[in-house]
Homo-oligomer: A and B are copies of this chain.
Amino acid sequence: MQNQNNSRRRFIKQAGLATVAANLTIFAGTKAEPMSAEQPFIHHVYFWLKNPGSKEDYQKLLEGLKKLSKVKTIHQHYIGKPADTRREVIDSSYSVSWLLFFKNKADQDSYQTDPVHLKFVEECSNLWSRVVVYDTVEAV
């Protein structure tokens, strides 16, 4: 258990969530499962555009994501595109990468139903043909 605690503290420190770490220290001896409630949450979305050659559609999606980044429960966000690396294991077929860090799962849940998110889906979902999402929490 000590090892798990140390490992989680390292993960939280790496994620830059010092305030969360402080809360965990305070709560560790007083609640049943305080750590899982405050576990940092990584949400990585890959979009494939319907018209991957359309610079206009690409820019529309980027603009939509910039607006979406205003959702208050997002801790950090990164809007990306495929790097120019090419190896057998690399999937570079997507158009846009949308990587989010949340302080905990509750913040991610809130993001899913945030009006700004719903408006983004309404305005931009016609642009993509495929979306793949990987949701990740710390491995222990």
Q: Point out residues on A near B: beta carbons under 8 Å.
A: 11, 14-16, 41-42, 44, 46, 62, 76-83, 85, 87, 89-92, 94, 96-97, 99, 105, 108, 131-139
Asked if A139 and B105 make an inter-chain contact with CB atoms under 8 angstroms apart, the answer reads: no
Asked if B76 and A139 make an inter-chain contact with CB atoms under 8 angstroms apart, the answer reads: no
- Please judge, given known A-B contacts A44-B44, A132-B89, whether A81 and B16 are in contact too, CB under 8 Å: no
Asked if A92 and B139 make an inter-chain contact with CB atoms under 8 angstroms apart, the answer reads: no
- CA separation between A42 and B44, bound complex, in Å? 11
For this chain, the copies found in one complex come to 2
- CA separation between A131 and B89, bound complex, in Å? 6
Closest chain B CB from A66 CB (angstroms): 9
Asked if B133 and A87 make an inter-chain contact with CB atoms under 8 angstroms apart, the answer reads: yes
- CA separation between A47 and B52, bound complex, in Å? 27
**Nearest CB in chain B to that of A90: its residue:** B133
**Nearest CB in chain B to that of A76: its residue:** B14
- CA separation between A14 and B65, bound complex, in Å? 15
Asked if A89 and B133 make an inter-chain contact with CB atoms under 8 angstroms apart, the answer reads: yes
